[in-house]
Amino acid sequence: MNLMDELLGDLRAETASFEALLQPLRDEDWELATPAEGWAVRDQVSHLAWFDDAAARAVTDPEGFHASPAGLSSVDDLVVQARGMSPAELRDWFRAARGRSIDAFAALGPRDRVPWFGPAMSAASFVTARLMETWAHGQDVADALGVVKEPTSRLRHVAMIGFRARPYSFAVRGLPEPTEPVRAELTMPDGSMWSAGPPEAAAVVRGPMLDFCLVVTQRVHLSDTALELEGEPARAWMKIAQAFAGPPGKGRAPRSG
């Protein structure tokens, strides 16, 4: 299996997991507040659908994509515009938009460049980012519904994009890019080990991969995890870690005292 087939297979699986959360919902459940301030379940769905349509356009019509209004500076405006849609319309939009984007991705090689709201990305990184977004927004929906979203081996993609985004976490806040290396040593859901970064690095992040992914997507406060941080470079990074594009995220308040 080549890299794009692997990534697209995992994106399809993560999409199915997200849709499984939506399938049993009553209409009123779509209005439930999620941990993302000001966003209901419906807003999580419309956000993914809008950016899936943008992703398909970026691949199939790059010139048209560049001519379209920027989306990252107005994500709240975008979800507000979709609040007149019914739950059925939102579900259908998400399914159709996700299908269009996956079909577009399937025609690409892993190193093909795709324009986006910022620097262009390789197709492999682009698909990984869509998987990360789907997982993170699915976590928001699961939290709103009070259900447990079982972790899977697909978290390795979220972990990798979060690890590679370390320089961005500093740059987006106007902070100097870190020079000291950091290593991540994480336990995957099946108990196997996953690592990234130089083995000789003095600064290390250790712990469950799920916790690492929740931190880098800003779905949980660092203090509410079992992550162990060795060295100031690791601590400084985890305090501001951000795997997703856009301005600095607000993060989540700690649950523990």
Do 76 and 122 share a structural domain?
Answer: yes
pLDDT digits (tens, 9 = 90+) for 51-60: 999 999 999 9
Per the CB < 8 A criterion, the answer to whether 212 and 205 are in contact is yes
Per-residue confidence at 256, pLDDT binned at 50, 70, 90?
low
- Whether residue 250 is contained in a domain is answered as no
pLDDT digits (tens, 9 = 90+) for 172-207: 999 998 999 999 999 999 999 999 999 999 999 999
**Sign (positive/negative) of CA torsion 90, 92, 97, 98?**
positive
Per-residue confidence at 18, pLDDT binned at 50, 70, 90?
very high
Do 212 and 131 share a structural domain?
Answer: no
Do 108 and 185 share a structural domain?
Answer: no
Instruction: Give the DSSP per-residue string, 58-110.
Output: HHH-HHHHHHSPPSGGGHHHHHHHTTTS-HHHHHHHHHHHHHHHHHHHHTS-T
Do 159 and 133 share a structural domain?
Answer: no
d(CA 201, CA 203) in angstroms, rounded, equals 5
d(CA 225, CA 256) in angstroms, rounded, equals 10
Indicate if the pLDDT at residue 71 is higher than 60. no
pLDDT of residue 68: 77
Pairing of strands 228-230, 182-187: unpaired
Q: What is the mean pLDDT of residues 98-102?
A: 98
Q: The domain containing residue 208 runs over which residues? A: 155-240
Q: What is the CATH number of the domain that holds 173?
A: 3.30.1050
The total of structural domains in the chain comes to: 2
% residues pLDDT > 70 (the chain):
96
pLDDT of residue 119: 85
d(CA 41, CA 229) in angstroms, rounded, equals 33
| Listed residues 145, 166, 181: the one ending a domain | 145
pLDDT of residue 78: 83
* Out of 78-87, 101-110, 209-218, 225-234, least confident range: 78-87
Q: When comparing pLDDT for 192 and 253, which is higher?
A: 192
- Whether residue 249 is contained in a domain is answered as no
What is the rounded average pLDDT for all residues in the chain?
Answer: 95
Q: How far is CA 146 from CA 140, 141, 202, 217, 223, in A?
A: 10, 9, 39, 19, 21
Per the CB < 8 A criterion, the answer to whether 139 and 93 are in contact is no
**Who's near 146: CB < 8 A, 6+ residues apart?**
none
Do 67 and 103 share a structural domain?
Answer: yes
Indicate if the pLDDT at residue 72 is higher than 70. no
Q: How far is CA 185 from CA 129, 163, 210, 212, 228, in A?
A: 21, 11, 12, 10, 10
3-state percent breakdown (helix, strand, coil) of the chain, nearest 5: 55, 10, 35
Specify the DSSP class assigned to residue 33: B
